[in-house]
Amino acid sequence: MKLYSYFRSSAAYRVRIALNLKGVSYDTVPIHLTKDGGQQRQPDFAARNPQMRVPVLELPGGATITQSLAIIEYLEETHPAPPLLPADPLERARVRALAQIVACDIHPLNNLLVLQYLKRALKHEQSEIDAWYHHWIIEGFRAVEAMIAPAPYAFGAAVSLADVCLVPQVFNARRFKVPLEAFPKIVAVETACLKLAAFDRARPENQPDAE
């Protein structure tokens, strides 16, 4: 398998964690999102993903899958052990709900394309952009903090899709200096997860394209 990835992309970070947890070997194909006008806009990559975003997972036969949650669901179905979703339908829904808070509510508002649009098209100052970023992280994390009870992971003794999505978002929050003192349960989950080799290997600083 090939994973078209950018070391700082939290969506690609999610997929790296899932691949590592599942024990699936893959080759990383770096796609730099700011160099050369954004390598994701080059024709060969756009042919793989018309949305021109990472990650993209290319299967051995050449088929491609886009969108991090779709990729992780594919991995869950084709490599069921260890499971990232609980067997109980209610618990499964709760895990998916938290994952979607991150992937569907927090992350899209703070995506690189959004931040670039605020700066380039709408001419906002960097301080205003930082305030925007902090606001939406904090709004989302308030909900997440109320939903989890670290034991030691977000939903108990087993890592789930919730952890896979949450840890990269915490990385982003730290990168943009979002204060996390109000979120001790989130920080505890991050600490527990990063002790695992699958999470550690997926860290942005451990990627071949890290700068």
Summarize the confidence of residues 67-80 as an average pLDDT.
98
Structure tokens belonging to residue 153: 């992971």
pLDDT, position 113: 85
185 phi-psi bin (left φ>0, alpha ψ -120 to 50, beta other) = alpha
Summarize the confidence of residues 4-17 as an average pLDDT.
97
Summarize the confidence of residues 188-198 as an average pLDDT.
98
Domains assigned to the chain: 2-82 (3.40.30.10), 89-199 (1.20.1050.10)
Q: Angle CA(4)–CA(47)–CA(23) in degrees, nearest 5?
A: 25
Number of Cβ within a 10 Å radius of residue 111: 15
pLDDT digit string, tens, across residues 89-146: 999 999 999 999 999 999 999 888 899 899 999 999 999 999 999 999 999 999 999 9
pLDDT, position 112: 85
| pTM recorded for the entire structure | 0.95
Number of Cβ within a 10 Å radius of residue 117: 12
Structure tokens belonging to residue 128: 């205003």
CA 22 from centroid of its chain's CA atoms:
16
pLDDT digit string, tens, across residues 18-53: 999 999 999 999 999 999 889 999 999 999 999 999
Q: Angle CA(125)–CA(129)–CA(135) in degrees, nearest 5?
A: 145
Rounded-to-integer distance, Cα 5 and Cα 13, Å = 8
Q: What are phi and psi of 58, to 5 degrees?
A: -105, 125
pLDDT, position 65: 98
